C-alpha cells in the first residue's frame, strides 16, 4: 500500500519535473524591471543566449586562425561572438590570452576597423566597463549627450552603478562624479550626482502613503514647479524604487491629465530636458524607450551607429526581443530590416545576428528540457523497479527496512539534483551578473 502511494507521488513528481517551474524574471545587468513585470504573460526575451555546447579553447583557436591572413576572416568572428553569452566570450578571451599570448580585445582592435571593430571589442568587454565607455563617450567632445547619461544611470540598479563607478575610475583614472559635474549643470547635475551614489530603495513593495506624499510634494498646490525646485523630483527619480516611481508617474498623470514625459518637457529645456525625458522614459517602460532610441538612431539621413551598438550590446541578453516587438508595434516595421538597410558588411551581419533570435536559444531551451526529461525518466524507472520488478525477484520483506531507506535516499538525491538544476536555471539570484542566465548543466558536456 505504502509502496503504491510512493509510486503515485513519485510519478507525479517526475511528470511535473518535465515541465519545470515557470521562469521568473531575472534581470541580468541589474536593469530596471519591465513595466509589465508581475503580470502572468510577461516574459523577458533576450536574443543572445549562452551556447549550450561551449568549448572556449576551440573558439579561441578558431578566432586565432581567423586573424592569421593579411585580412581577418570576419565571417568567423560573426559566426562565433554573437552566438555566445558575454560571460562565455570573456572565458574565450581568457583562453585566447593563455594559449595565444595576446589580449583578444587588442587583437580585435588591430585586425578590424570602423563599426565592426567597435562592436566586436564591446562584445568581449565586461558590462560595467562597456557602460563606463558609453558614459565617457557621451561626455566627450563639445556638447554632452545628456540622454545617454540618464539612460544608463537611471536605468540600472545600485550594484551595477557601483560597478560602473569603479570601472570608470580604473579605466580613466578620474572619478565619474567629477566628470559628470564638469559636463552638466543645474538640476540635471544634481540628479546625476544623486544617481551615482547608488542609494536607490530596492525593496519592491510600494507604500501608498509614501506614493501620495511624493505626489503631493511634486504637484504642490495644483502646480508643477520642478524647474525652480527640482530637489524633490531628483530624490524621487534617484532614491525611490522603480515600482514606486511608476506609481508616482501614474498618479501625476491622473492629476494633471498629462504624461510624465510631457510634464518634464514643459519644465526643462535643451540638454536638461533630454536628460530628464530619457530618465523618466527608461524607468516608465524600458522596452518602449529603447525601441524609440533605435528608431531615432536610424531615422532620416545617416545612422547613429554608436547608439545601435550600445543598445545591441547592453540589451541583447536582457530584453532585445521585447524591444523588437515594441518597435514593430510602434512603427509597424521590422527593426532588423531597418538595420539591414542602414548598415553594411560584416558589421551588418553582426548586428543581424545579435538582433535575430539565435539558434542557440532553441538549443538552450531544448538542452535544458532534455536534461529534465532524462532525470524524470530515470526517476520513473527507479520507482518502477522498486514497486514492480524488485518484489518479483527477491523477497523484499526480508530486506525491507534497508531497501526502503536505500531507495528513498536515492529518490531524495535525485530530487535534490533536480531542484538544484531548477534553481540554477530559473533562480532569481544573479548567478552571473554579467551574463545573467546560466544554463543548467547536469551532464558534463565537451
Ligand atoms: C573564412 O572562414 C570560412 C569558414 O572557415 C571559410 O569558409 C571562408 O572561405 C573564409 N574566408 C576567407 C576570405 O578566407
Show the domains of the chain with their CATH numbers: 56-123 (1.10.220.10)
Whose alpha carbon is nearest atom 5 of ligand 1?
76
Atom of ligand 1 nearest to the CA of 71: 13
- Cell numbers linked to 148: 545617454
Low-confidence ranges of the chain (pLDDT < 50): 20-28, 40-41, 426-446
Distance, in Å, from the CA atom of 219 to the CA atom of 207, rounded to the nearest integer, reads: 18
Ligand 1 centroid distance, CA of 74 (Å): 8
Number of alpha carbons in the 13 Å side-chain half-sphere of residue 58: 6
Q: Please work out whether the CB of residue 75 comes within 6 Å of at least one atom of ligand 1.
A: yes
Number of alpha carbons in the 13 Å side-chain half-sphere of residue 178: 6
Ligand 1 centroid distance, CA of 73 (Å): 6
Ligand 1 centroid distance, CA of 311 (Å): 29
Q: Please work out whether the CB of residue 73 comes within 6 Å of at least one atom of ligand 1.
A: yes
Ligand 1 centroid distance, CA of 352 (Å): 19
Quick one: pLDDT at residue 45? 87
Ligand 1 pocket test, candidate residues 73, 80, 111, most atoms within 8 A of CB: 73
Ligand 1 centroid distance, CA of 45 (Å): 32
Q: How far is CA 411 from CA 380, 390, 416, in A?
A: 10, 16, 8
Cβ atoms of residues 51 and 83 within 8 Å: yes
Atom of ligand 1 nearest to the CA of 62: 5
Atom of ligand 1 nearest to the CA of 69: 14
Q: Please work out whether the CB of residue 357 comes within 6 Å of at least one atom of ligand 1.
A: no
Atom of ligand 1 nearest to the CA of 73: 1
Ligand 1 centroid distance, CA of 181 (Å): 49
Ligand 1 centroid distance, CA of 281 (Å): 44
Q: Residues with Cβ < 8 Å from 429, sequence gap 6 or more?
A: 423
Q: How far is CA 410 from CA 8, 89, 386, in A?
A: 17, 38, 11
The pTM score is 0.76
Ligand 1 centroid distance, CA of 75 (Å): 7
Quick one: pLDDT at residue 266? 94
Amino acid at each position: 500500500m505504502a509502496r503504491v502511494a510512493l509510486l503515485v507521488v513519485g510519478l507525479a513528481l517526475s511528470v511535473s519535473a518535465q515541465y519545470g517551474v515557470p521562469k521568473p524574471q531575472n534581470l541580468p545587468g541589474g536593469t530596471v524591471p519591465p513595466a509589465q513585470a508581475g503580470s502572468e504573460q510577461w516574459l523577458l526575451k533576450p536574443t543572445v543566449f549562452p551556447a549550450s555546447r561551449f568549448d572556449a579553447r576551440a573558439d579561441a583557436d578558431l578566432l586565432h586562425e581567423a586573424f592569421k591572413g593579411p585580412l581577418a576572416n570576419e565571417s568567423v568572428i560573426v559566426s562565433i561572438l554573437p552566438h555566445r553569452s558575454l560571460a562565455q566570450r570573456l572565458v574565450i578571451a581568457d583562453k585566447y590570452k593563455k594559449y595565444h599570448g595576446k589580449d583578444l580585445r587588442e587583437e580585435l582592435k588591430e585586425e578590424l576597423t570602423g563599426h565592426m571593430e567597435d562592436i566586436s571589442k564591446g562584445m568581449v568587454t565586461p558590462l560595467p566597463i562597456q557602460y563606463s565607455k558609453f558614459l565617457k563617450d557621451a561626455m566627450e567632445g563639445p556638447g554632452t549627450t545628456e540622454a545617454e547619461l540618464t539612460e544608463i544611470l537611471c536605468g540600472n540598479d545600485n550594484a551595477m552603478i557601483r560597478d560602473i563607478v569603479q570601472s570608470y575610475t580604473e579605466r580613466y583614472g578620474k572619478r565619474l562624479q567629477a566628470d559628470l559635474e564638469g559636463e552638466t549643470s543645474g538640476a540635471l547635475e544634481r540628479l546625476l550626482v544623486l544617481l551615482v551614489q547608488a542609494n536607490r530603495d530596492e525593496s519592491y513593495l510600494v507604500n501608498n502613503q509614501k506614493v501620495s506624499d511624493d505626489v503631493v510634494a511634486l504637484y504642490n498646490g495644483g502646480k508643477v514647479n520642478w524647474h525652480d525646485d527640482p530637489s524633490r523630483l531628483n530624490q524621487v527619480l534617484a532614491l525611490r524604487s522603480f515600482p514606486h516611481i511608476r506609481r508616482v508617474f501614474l498618479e501625476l498623470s491622473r492629476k494633471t491629465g498629462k504624461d510624465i514625459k510631457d510634464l518634464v518637457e514643459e519644465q526643462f529645456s535643451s540638454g536638461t530636458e533630454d536628460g530628464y525625458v530619457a530618465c523618466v522614459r527608461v524607468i516608465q517602460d524600458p522596452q518602449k524607450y529603447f525601441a524609440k532610441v533605435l528608431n531615432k538612431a536610424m531615422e532620416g539621413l545617416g545612422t547613429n551607429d554608436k547608439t545601435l551598438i550600445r543598445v545591441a550590446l547592453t540589451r541583447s541578453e536582457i530584453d532585445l526581443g521585447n524591444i523588437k516587438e515594441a518597435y514593430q508595434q510602434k512603427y509597424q516595421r521590422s527593426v532588423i530590416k531597418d538595420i539591414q538597410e542602414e548598415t553594411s558588411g560584416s558589421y551588418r551581419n553582426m548586428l543581424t545576428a545579435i538582433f535575430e533570435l539565435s539558434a542557440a536559444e532553441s538549443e538552450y531551451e531544448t538542452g535544458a528540457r532534455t536534461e529534465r526529461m532524462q532525470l524524470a525518466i530515470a526517476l520513473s524507472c527507479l520507482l518502477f523497479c522498486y514497486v514492480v520488478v524488485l518484489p518479483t525477484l527477491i523477497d523484499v520483506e526480508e530486506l525491507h527496512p534497508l531497501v526502503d531507506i536505500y531507495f528513498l535516499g536515492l529518490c531524495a538525491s535525485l530530487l535534490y539534483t533536480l531542484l538544484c538544476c531548477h534553481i540554477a536555471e530559473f533562480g532569481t539570484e544573479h548567478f552571473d551578473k554579467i551574463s545573467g542566465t546560466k544554463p543548467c548543466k547536469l551532464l558534463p558536456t565537451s
